[in-house]
């Protein structure tokens, strides 16, 4: 009879222990990510003049964005192609705005290095990870020029 009472305690203890490991892993991941967040100087040096391809973390949808050295961007996502511009805030956030909103609406992201690429951490915009990054791009093809 006493062994039946021990089972829920063992299960509860195991669940608590598992929860601690999960929380610890999440905290470790957040520390590693935050230590790789680009500063304003790093973002300015690394995000202009690049071609990126990647996917969204949530839905695994593919996206592409080319950013010219002057900050003009060409973004492709879900069959839509947009011309935009990139600006970097003092805190290092990369902010994208597009011609469709007359450049009035910005989507800003913390950017961290992840391997040889980047992860863009947004709010409601979500998380975008790069699968491929090409640096030293001088000019991006316009939406009228085939990219593949």
Class of domain 40-134: mainly beta
Distances from the Cα of 26 to the Cαs of 20, 21, 23, 32, 117, in angstroms? 10, 9, 5, 10, 21
| 145 vs 71, residue with greater confidence | 71
- Domain extent listing, the chain: 1-35, 40-134
This model's pTM is above 0.85: no
Whether residue 95 contacts residue 101, with contact meaning beta carbons closer than 8 Å, is answered with no
pLDDT exceeds cutoff 80 at 20? no
Neighbours of 93 (CB within 10 A): 20
What tokens does 101 get?
A: 């909103």
pLDDT tens readout for residues 84-107: 999 999 999 999 999 999 999 999
Distance (Å, rounded) from C-alpha 87 to C-alpha 100? Answer: 17
């Amino acid at each position: 009879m006493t062994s039946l009472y021990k089972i829920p305690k063992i299960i509860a203890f195991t669940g608590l222990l598992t929860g601690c490991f999960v929380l610890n892993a999440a905290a470790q991941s957040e520390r590693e990510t935050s230590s790789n967040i680009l500063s304003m100087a790093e973002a300015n040096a690394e995000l202009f003049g690049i071609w990126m391809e990647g996917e969204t973390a949530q839905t695994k949808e593919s996206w592409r964005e080319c950013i010219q050295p002057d900050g003009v961007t060409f973004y492709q996502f879900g069959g839509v192609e947009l011309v935009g511009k990139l600006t970097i805030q003092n805190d290092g956030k990369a902010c994208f705005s597009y011609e469709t909103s007359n450049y009035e609406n910005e989507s800003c992201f913390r950017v961290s290095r992840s391997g040889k690429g980047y992860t863009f951490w947004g709010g409601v915009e979500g998380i975008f990870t790069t699968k491929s990054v090409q640096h030293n791009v001088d000019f991006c093809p316009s939406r009228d020029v085939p990219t593949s």
